[in-house]
């Protein structure tokens, strides 16, 4: 979800967790993906573990956008629906920065 309310909720939780970690371990930026990760699309195992190499490959542009300082990243992705249909999703994903803490 790209809703402001969702970003605000996640921001509060990340802020809370950041208060309990050291400076080097704190989350500095985050995004909310345009879709849920799905085992049927080989992003997760059936036991819900991330397939890191696949994630890095599929979402490389988003990862690069976060580290390059972008505030918003344009996404165009092929999505497979549970009923077998496919569709093209075009959206923008906001990069949310955490304020410096500590």
pLDDT band at residue 60 using 50, 70 and 90 as cut-offs: very high
Average pLDDT, the chain: 91
Q: What DSSP string runs through 13-55?
A: HHHHHHTTS-GGGS--EEE--SS---GGGTSB-TT--B-HHHH
Overall pTM surpassing 0.85 (yes/no): no
Please count the residues of the chain: 102
Question: Would you state the pLDDT for residue 101?
Answer: 55
Question: Would you state the pLDDT for residue 61?
Answer: 94
Cα distance between residue 78 and residue 95, in whole Å: 21
Q: Dihedral of CA 72/78/82/83: which sign?
A: positive
Question: Would you state the pLDDT for residue 21?
Answer: 95
Cα distance between residue 97 and residue 19, in whole Å: 15
Question: pLDDT tens, 67-84?
Answer: 999 999 999 988 778 798
Question: pLDDT tens, 7-49?
Answer: 999 999 999 999 999 999 999 999 999 888 888 888 999 899 9
């Amino acid at each position: 979800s790209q809703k402001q309310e969702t970003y605000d909720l996640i921001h509060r939780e990340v802020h809370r967790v950041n208060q309990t970690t050291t400076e080097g371990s704190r989350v500095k930026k985050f995004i909310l993906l345009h879709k849920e990760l799905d085992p049927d699309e080989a992003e997760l195992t059936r036991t819900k573990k991330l397939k890191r190499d696949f994630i890095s490959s599929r979402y490389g542009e988003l990862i690069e956008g976060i580290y390059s300082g972008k505030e918003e990243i344009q996404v165009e992705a092929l999505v497979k629906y549970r009923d077998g249909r496919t569709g093209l999703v075009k959206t923008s994903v906001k990069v949310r920065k955490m304020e410096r803490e500590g």
